[in-house]
Amino acid sequence: MKQSFKIAFGGIICAFSVILVLLGNIPMAEYLGPTFAGMLLAWAVIETGALQSLWIYLATAGLAFLLSGNKEPALLYALFFGYFPILKDVLQRKVKFRAVRWVIKFIVFNLSMVVVYLLLIYVFGMPLEEMEGLGKYTVYVLLAGGNLLMIVVDFCIEKLSVLYKMKWQKRLQSIFKQNRK
């Protein structure tokens, strides 16, 4: 694929991803925006490869962090959901055993979430009262729910990638070819 297509596609993915992360500023949508933005990056991995997708992820994370009033969605994107499609692609190509891939994904997810919430609490001053809904079990319930969300995100990325390849990839490439003439 032409480099100009990759750059344009990356810019479009970056713009839409920033918008989705910023939608995470809506109360109760802190997880949805970064999650959907990360899913978009899966298409960039298909079209541009892991390396250029890494640059798209970094640009999106930086812009989202600068533009977002609520740092939680920006941190969730920057520290997990943004790079997860790239990690998933690399693991599928490099790690032969599915169980090992899942163990790596769970370890990365849980470490990322711990870092996100430590940063939110101790650097950005998120009040601990917001996390005390279930008493001493709150952290465990949040991590368990987060792990379920990660499984759903992994499944959705897989299915959206197949859908993209089967339905939208050729159409999108033909649009770019028509505009070149």
Which tokens go with 28? 């109760």
Checking phi first, is residue 125 left (phi over 0); if not, alpha (psi -120 to 50) or beta? left
Give the span between the Cα atoms of 76 and 87, in whole angstroms.
15
- At 158, the amino acid letter reads E
DSSP line for 22-73 = HHTTSTT-TTHHHHHHHHHHHHHHHHH-HHHHHHHHHHHHHHHHHH-SSHHH
Backbone angles phi, psi at 2, to 5 degrees: -65, 145
Please list the ranges in the chain whose pLDDT falls under 50: none
CATH code where residue 24 lies: 1.10.1760.20
Number of domains present in the structure of the chain: 1
Name the DSSP letter for residue 166: I
Which tokens go with 79? 């520290």
CA angle 11-112-13, nearest 5°?
Answer: 10
Q: Say what the pLDDT of residue 157 is.
A: 93
Containing structural domain, residue 150: 3-180
Instruction: Encode pLDDT of 4-51 as tens digits.
Output: 888 888 999 999 999 999 998 888 788 899 999 999 999 999 989 999
Q: Say what the pLDDT of residue 128 is.
A: 66
